[in-house]
Amino acid sequence: MNKTSISASISVKDADIANVVLMPGDPLRAKHVAERYLENPVCFNTVRNMLGYTGTYKGKKISVMGSGMGIPSMGIYATELYTQFDVDAIIRIGSAGALSDRIKIRDVVIAMAASTDSNYGNAFGLHGYFAPAADYGMLSHAVEASKKLSINAVVGTVYTSDHFYNPCSGINECLRNLGHLAVEMETAGLYWTAAACHKKALSILTISDHIFTGEALSAEDRQESFREMMELAMETAWQSIE
């Protein structure tokens, strides 16, 4: 929605922000998504080069905007989109490292919930531990779309870490033993923020490497795998718009 905002991070111009926003970490990836998957995309934000675009997909308005890396950056942009621009739902799209033996390179993971080592959730004042989880309606749309598109999507718990280079030895083995599918850096923050703002969120991730086997996608394979994730995210976003 195009409206006056106190945001220092988002300055809407030339286009509205749709009710559903796709959020890759990289703003240049947001530009690529807009140019490849949206019809008539218009850039609405260039503040700090965190590019945001709005266009249409199969007749429905959808936006895409970068989130930056890590929970604090995701938290800033998600909070402002939810509270200042009337966004109803955010879908994180990004890469993750596989932990589970049953997850393969190029698989798509739909994050049902996220464990984390971050203290971000403490600020919400719950006495105990607040378990960040996806919106079930959006998750079910994603599962349905994956079947229609014949995409190998696995639903389960991921681990959101504040550390790209984790100094804790043995952490990956512990996570695998507790059933985590993959590790990444933003999902828990998005799910916490959505819950606090009474909005919807979902994280759809492409497996770009495997923590234990050492396998990793080439640049060409990453692009093809990204295509599958984007088709799934677009269909999920489309179904989530009433």
107 is catalytic: no
- Answer for the pair 6, 45: CB distance below 8 angstroms, yes or no: no
- Answer for the pair 200, 136: CB distance below 8 angstroms, yes or no: no
**Please, how many CA atoms are within 13 Å of residue 140, restricted to the half-sphere of its CB?**
3
SS3 category, 156: strand
Interatomic CA distance for residues 67 and 53, integer angstroms: 13
Give the length of the chain.
242
Structure tokens at 168: 């804790």
Name which of 146, 204, 199 is nearest 19 in CA terms.
199
- Answer for the pair 28, 43: CB distance below 8 angstroms, yes or no: no
Catalytic residue among 16, 26, 86, 209: 209
**What residues are labeled active site?**
209
